[in-house]
Structure 1
Amino acid sequence: MRIQYLALTLAFAASPTLSNSTAIEHVLVSVPIHKKSAETALPVTVMSGEELRRGATATIGETLSNTPGLANASFGPAVGQPVIRGQQGARVTVLQNGTSSADVANTSADHAIAVEPLLADSIEILRGPATLLYGGGAIGGVVNVIDNRIPTTALDSTSGGIEYRRDSASDLNNISARLETGNGDYALHASGLYRRWNDLEIPGSAINLENSTDPEAAEETSYGHVTNTDGETMNFNLGGARHFDNGFIGLAVSRLENEYGIPPGAHGEHEHEDEHEDEHEDEHEDGEEEGPEQIRLDVEQTRYDAALHLHEPIGGLEVVRGFLTYTDYQHLEIEGNGEVGTRFDNETWEARLEIVHAPIANFHGVIGMQLKENEFSALGEEAFVPPTDSNGLGLFLLEDYHTENWTFEAGLRYDYEQRKPQSESAPNRSFNSYSASASALWNIAPSWSIGLGVSSSERAPVTEELYSNVEAMTPEQFVVHAATGAIEVGDPSLDQETSRNVDLSLHWQGDLAYMNLTFFYNDFQDYIALSNTGQEIYETRVLAYAQDDAVFKGAEIDSEFALGSLAGGSVALGLGADVVRGKMDQLGDVARLPPMRVRGELNWDNDSLRLYLRGLRAADQDRPGANETDTKGYTRWDAGADYRLGFQDSTDVVLFVQFNNITDEEIRLSTSFLRDFSPEAGRAVKAGVRVTF
């Protein structure tokens, strides 16, 4: 998969290979002071056009997992959270059109992110200094999923499309559709999808028998599939905008319903281990064996968005952008007997204002403000975090300066965040966080450039880091977190963590080739880690949030080379690799990091047919962290073809087929809490048809 490093190269979003591409630059949404990608020194990556449609899957983590520096923290086929340079969870902010996805994905590894890659126009990923625009919580990175549900340009015609795809790995059937129309003044957007799938097919055993200490694991595991991983998703979006001479105002509403099962491995490990409590003593009067619990999640989210864009509203201002979002999210965790075990609710208001000023003595920049109010609650058997209200205020400034061969950028941000738990055992906390960044891009020759970015970011601890199981006074009162099969213990006294980052990038752009090489070094003070203590309570492991200094360092390379023509088509070879290492001073290796990966892709393309073969080699992850298990490496081969039928009335029909994991390799992701209970899909065929007009 070819990814464009926008800070260093032109984007080739309209064409699948370099040999017949035209230099079409992506218009940035996440960095408002830059109209085009090549105008920024900030490290921004974009996935769009045919590249996005070819790589999009049901989860954002899997969609981005072939990108250098990005990985997937899967929890069965319905959940895939993005990992950016080894950071995941609360350190990665996922946005929907510039504001928070407003789900509860950060509170647990088994909670799906409420964004839909299969409906996206583009996905922008910000790393390093660029994350300052979205706060210290984005200390690892920002993923902004953009779907045009509020039409940002005036429309005077009708366009749309419909796609059907099937994936044999889980008998998945997915149909998605989109329609946009307008009369020049008013623009309307409607989109939606319906997806249904069965249990995930895998090679061999669901449980990793080599790492299991359970003598009955071989009898309890499933073979050839992962039990309870079926599901169903519906997502509908309706939006409109009124366009006028210097901007637009728009509204949108979205509805998500997502019902899916959780792989039983982690849940089954601790099921009924609380038999020490009197209320469970008579649950199995006949001495029947209790199998792994079949937990299912029933998610509902309704989201309302409003946006206002003004171009040159008054002298000295180029653009004013305002966003307002209200999200009502809830999900039920349903036990195997059909009863609701836990109910999660999350109600979020978010407002964002960005003001871009005209150049002043070659300085061009944006000043902005961000407000967020959040009410979170979890009630029921798995409620290990008390209901908590959170409030936040962010102020930011980003400026750039251009000379003939140099581009400089610098920014400042201040955040105030407050946590108010509804518990006598959990104190209120408030935090003042300060962040700064600077970057430079030097065009040292017509085909060569070098970029340097430095930043210092502060992140306030989130609710689960502060308050997990904080109300437990005795061992019997600890609540097991079913997703991790562990007791997680927070620390209300946690301080902010501070990250000082350096990014160094080298870029070469030829006529029919490019190469990007990036090195990064992140020095954390008071890094908040969820580490395995090695202790157990009633045979359930204990994970604790603790602070320690840490260092992350790594490298990423991405390249593509045109090899010439063959049989009437152009041939290109893409090569890439990434590696990250994280180590804490006292607690040792950071857990759940991706291994070193090397990838290659060979493409053949003419005007109507594209063929490709992709290979990826992931090394062993033998630095799993304290009291964690190693993860074996793997080699994965994929191949595919796209065939385009064009018609004179601008209607396009694309037939596509992908052969995934051709060798039926057992793939377990070291980034996943569930790596020893649920491997990735085995050999599968994905095929479909896409019609656009």
Structure 2
Amino acid sequence: MRPHALSIAILLSIHHAHASETEEIISLPLIQVNAEQLTLVDNVVKVENRNADNKTLGDALKHISGVQSSAFGPNAGAPVIRSLSGNRVQILEDGASIYGMNAISGDISIPFDPLFSQTITVNKSSDSVRYGGNAIGGSVNIDTGLIDMDMSDKNANLEVVAKKGWNDFNAKGFKLNLNNQHNFSTNFLFSTQDISSYKIPGNSKASVCNTALFPVSGGTNTALADACQKEARVQQVYNTASQPYIDQFMTENPDWADGTFSFYTDQPTSVWSGKNYINPENPDYVPDTPKYTQNKINRDVTPDYKNKLGNSYFENQHYAIGSTYLFDRGYIGISADSKKSEYGVPGFSLENKSFQAHYDDGLPVGVKTDQRKYTLQSQLNFESPFLNQIQFNTNKLINTSSEYLGAEIANRYKFDTQQAELLLKHQPMKLLSGFIGLNYVDRKVKGQGELRYLPDLNTQTQAIFIKEKLDFNWLELDAGYRTERVEHKVQDSDFKTSRNSPNVELKDRKFNLDSFNVGSYLKFNDLIGRKITLFGFGKSAGN
């Protein structure tokens, strides 16, 4: 905080006009205003999440410069940082990865509480030294606020949210904090959001889905038909009224016919196998009509709803509890939370129906996610410059994501992850600070369903990383390095690779990953600076 003097020299006053030889002088008091200094270091942005209108994590962050939302329909939106998304952007909750199918499949939502998540920190630069290869495009860390790092100034605090949405979520929930104003603090949390469907003007499919499928130049706009989920094609239909006679031989020998046109002819007689046939007149004959007409097939594979976005329902529930023991040199906290959601993916059906099939029984795509997380988080502070803080965090994350066709499971994947991290922070001198860390992840992936596309897999990762920073106030220099060992083990299951898959035989893999960064930040003033960072990534050959 910096004090700035603000002089106010504008005085508006109304006086009655009168003659006076003296002029009254009014002196205004000096007003002091404190303004918080902005910081641009490290491209890190921290935002308060206090907007009940946010539906997804992508919605909560899309207003940040350089960040967009992938928006796979209204119910699934992930952050895209400078065009990088998926498993290139590490999504964390309370500092721990919540990696699951949400990093692989765009229609799987990231578990997120839009009502009570405290803050969201976005690093728009590569964060691979800190969080590994899944953060080459940056990282997003959600602070749930379940574990308190400081004692509240009140022994009880209740937050209640109730929102009735028109064409938007209905939302309600509460967060209750109870503490003894000394060393124990506990949070209880419940929230829910739901909507049956979104109302829209007109039809759920754009008008071009009907008006532009068949160009004037002929043929079919197949790309548009696929986007609109339409069966669209031009069918050449023989006109039985175009020829004046019926072929008598074909009438007597229909097995010889090669289509409807074979039964008609322009000739009153015909010769087959040396025998003459007299062809009767075609009673439906109309002179000067074309032999073929075009039948333009335009049918909806998925329904085109009027004034409603079909299959756009959404339900979300979050239950959580967190308790913290605070002491003079730090804290230790535990939390447990459960997030469940169920929603539809508008306009999509995964069924591969053939042309001219019955589409009335088309099955819409639905998604169900269930995340359960158990966390232990601790911090111990020291006065020693060579070790001024120790953080130890561990959690167990069970993330299950399922895609449905109607009521039937298309595929389901369960990510069972255990992870632990030890972080040692130090500041041996005023200008130099940094940390050294160890990280361990054990992840088991199991799938089921006829349309599953990933094998069962066990993955173990061990990593060590270090990062240091020199701060001269006007100039910052930083460097970091991370090395990790990754081991994938394919598990026995009934999974079969696709016919054209390059991986005919699935094999275990082991390899090392190395990441480093060297950067500098030159500050010209409080608002303008220049940051230059060099990143590097490497992979050692394994087996």
- TM-score when scaled to structure 2? 0.70
Partner of 2:418: 349
Q: Secondary structure of the residue that 1:151 maps to in structure 2?
A: coil
Shift of 1:173: 0.3
Q: 2:363 aligns with which of 290, 293, 317?
A: 293
Partner of 2:467: 398
Residues 105 and 113 in structure 1, CA contact (< 8 A), matched pair in contact too: yes
Partner of 1:263: 346
Shift of 1:205: 4.0
Which one has more relative contact order, counting CA pairs under 8 Å at least 6 apart?
Answer: 1
Q: 1:98 aligns with which of 85, 95, 98?
A: 95
Q: Following superposition of structure 1 onto structure 2, how do residues 182-581 of structure 1 map, counting pairs within 5 Å?
A: 182-183=179-180, 184-208=182-206, 209=209, 212-213=224-225, 214=230, 215=232, 216=298, 220-265=303-348, 267=349, 270-272=351-353, 288-312=358-382, 316-336=386-406, 338-360=407-429, 362-422=431-491, 425-445=505-525, 448-458=528-538
Post-superposition Cα deviations, 1:574-607, rounded to whole Å, max 9, x if no partner, equal xxxxxxxxxxxxxxxxxxxxxxxxxxxxxxxxxx
Aligned residues: 416
Shift of 1:295: 2.4
Partner of 1:159: 157
Partner of 1:138: 135
Residues 179 and 189 in structure 1, CA contact (< 8 A), matched pair in contact too: yes
Q: Which amino acid aligns with 1:223?
A: K
Q: Following superposition of structure 1 onto structure 2, how do residues 578-617 of structure 1 map, counting pairs within 5 Å?
A: none
Q: How many angstroms apart in 2 are the aligned matches of 1:294 and 1:155?
A: 48
Q: 1:297 to 1:447 in 2, by over 3 A?
A: closer
Q: Secondary structure of the residue that 1:226 maps to in structure 2?
A: coil
The percentage of aligned residue pairs carrying the same residue is 21
- Backbone CA RMSD of aligned residues: 3.0
The runs of 5 or more residues in structure 1 that have no matched partner are 1-8, 11-19, 26-36, 276-283, 461-492, 496-693
Residues 385 and 429 in structure 2, CA contact (< 8 A), matched pair in contact too: no
Could you say which structure has the larger radius of gyration?
2
**Does 2:56 correspond to 1:59?**
yes
Shift of 1:217: 5.3
Residues 155 and 181 in structure 1, CA contact (< 8 A), matched pair in contact too: no
Residues 46 and 122 in structure 2, CA contact (< 8 A), matched pair in contact too: yes
Q: Which amino acid aligns with 2:371?
A: Q
Q: 1:293 to 1:321 in 2, by over 3 A?
A: same
Partner of 1:571: none
Q: How many angstroms apart in 1 are the aligned matches of 2:86 and 2:322?
A: 30
Q: How many angstroms apart in 1 are the aligned matches of 2:195 and 2:427?
A: 51
- TM-score when scaled to structure 1? 0.56
Q: Following superposition of structure 1 onto structure 2, how do residues 620-635 of structure 1 map, counting pairs within 5 Å?
A: none
Q: Which amino acid aligns with 1:42?
A: D
Q: 1:309 to 1:359 in 2, by over 3 A?
A: same
Q: Which amino acid aligns with 2:369?
A: V
Q: How many angstroms apart in 1 are the aligned matches of 2:93 and 2:33?
A: 29
Shift of 1:101: 1.5
Q: How many angstroms apart in 2 are the aligned matches of 1:203 and 1:189?
A: 43
Partner of 2:268: none
Shift of 1:317: 1.1
Residues 139 and 459 in structure 1, CA contact (< 8 A), matched pair in contact too: no
Residues 176 and 191 in structure 1, CA contact (< 8 A), matched pair in contact too: yes
Q: Which amino acid aligns with 2:335?
A: A
Q: Which amino acid aligns with 1:263?
A: P
Residues 333 and 378 in structure 2, CA contact (< 8 A), matched pair in contact too: yes
Q: 1:118 aligns with which of 115, 119, 144?
A: 115
Q: Which amino acid aligns with 2:50?
A: R
Q: How many angstroms apart in 2 are the aligned matches of 1:182 and 1:457?
A: 46
Q: 1:448 to 1:345 in 2, by over 3 A?
A: closer
Partner of 2:78: 81
Residues 398 and 417 in structure 2, CA contact (< 8 A), matched pair in contact too: yes
Instruction: Choose between structure 1 and 2: higher strand proportion.
Output: 1
Q: Secondary structure of the residue that 1:439 maps to in structure 2?
A: strand
Q: Secondary structure of the residue that 1:264 maps to in structure 2?
A: coil
Q: 1:245 to 1:399 in 2, by over 3 A?
A: same
Q: 1:450 to 1:309 in 2, by over 3 A?
A: same
Post-superposition Cα deviations, 1:78-103, rounded to whole Å, max 9, x if no partner, equal 21111111011111111001001143
